[in-house]
Amino acid sequence: MLKDAKIFVAGSNGMVGSAIVRALRSKGFVNIVVKSSKELDLKNQQAVHDFFSQEQPDYVFLAAAKVGGIHANNTYPATFIYDNIMIQSNVIQAAYDFNVKKLLFLGSSCIYPKFAPQPIKEEYLLTGSLEPTNEAYAIAKIAGLKMCQFYKQQYGCNFISAMPTNLFGVNDNFNLENSHVLPALLRKFIEAKQNNKQEVTIWGSGTPKREFLFVDDLAEACLFLMENYNGNETVNIGTGEDVSIKELAETIMKIVGFEGNLIFDASKPDGAPRKLLDVSKINNLGWKHKTNLEEGIQKTLNWIQKNNFEMFT
């Protein structure tokens, strides 16, 4: 990508999109187009068409999505499947209509079967049933990556897709009703320490294992793929390392400095027993993550403190 190429980052206000914008700016890209959801409703086909007609972007990072944790996915499945299918379909079609040079679509590791062999290789897609608690979101994301493959097959578009593991970091969602596990735990421990609580309750048994990637590492991977990968198959992005939810909680607890007790509520759902991505494909291409779990959590905590916990309100 030339430094003055026009680059549209869809979802630039979100955790992933804002990290991609930071990464682009740090690399010297100067013509970055961003729109908030209030300025441009990506679910509106005509609005997206008009935007692409006016802006004519050269490259598109499709990071916009309706996202949430187990509770949100389980409670609002119709919203998750509709919003995500509309967003990605409108952007991918407009990218084709207006001759975008290259598009990167971001999916999620939840697209893989619930009981896929571990670590999960890209070719395990559609080889088994999905985790029921986020099936709606997963089906939408599978449709998005298949659209990229089929537009490449039928029209020759250079549309690629990447599947990140669980993400966290700056600009994360810390709402306890619909956030993912790491930001939810981080908020719980911070508030427990502030309020001198003696215990923190954690959903599930604590035994499921999860992989976590600091969002700025993901952004670097996205730029790497945009400049170095043109294949038809999706690419996993992760660390290749996982921890149990119990180990995660203990790590956050130590970094925050909470000294109370952990209570595991086994009546709450665990989700998939394990989700670890096989990242040998992207590692072999030449990219590897830089930030370990502890460093990433500390950086996120520093950002929360710098912003005076505003994201908790």
Q: Catalytic amino acids?
A: 137
Would the annotation count 171 as a binding residue?
no
Determine the 3-state secondary structure of 67 from DSSP. Answer: coil
Q: Are 1 and 59 in contact (CB under 8 A)?
A: yes
Would the annotation count 13 as a binding residue?
yes
Q: Which residues contact 245 (CB under 8 A, 6 or more apart)?
A: 181, 202, 204, 205, 206, 207, 208, 209, 210
Would the annotation count 197 as a binding residue?
no
Would the annotation count 126 as a binding residue?
no
The answer to whether the bond into 113 is cis (omega within 30° of 0) is no
Would the annotation count 16 as a binding residue?
yes
Place of tokens 């697209």: 111
Q: How far apart are CA 70 and CA 122, in angstroms?
A: 23
Q: How far apart are CA 234 and CA 223, in angstroms?
A: 15
Would the annotation count 11 as a binding residue?
yes
Would the annotation count 77 as a binding residue?
no
Would the annotation count 167 as a binding residue?
yes
Would the annotation count 28 as a binding residue?
no
Annotated binding site: 11-17, 106-109, 141, 164-167, 180, 188, 203, 210, 270
Annotated binding site for substrate: 188, 203, 210, 270
Annotated binding site for NADP(+): 11-17, 106-109, 141, 164-167, 180
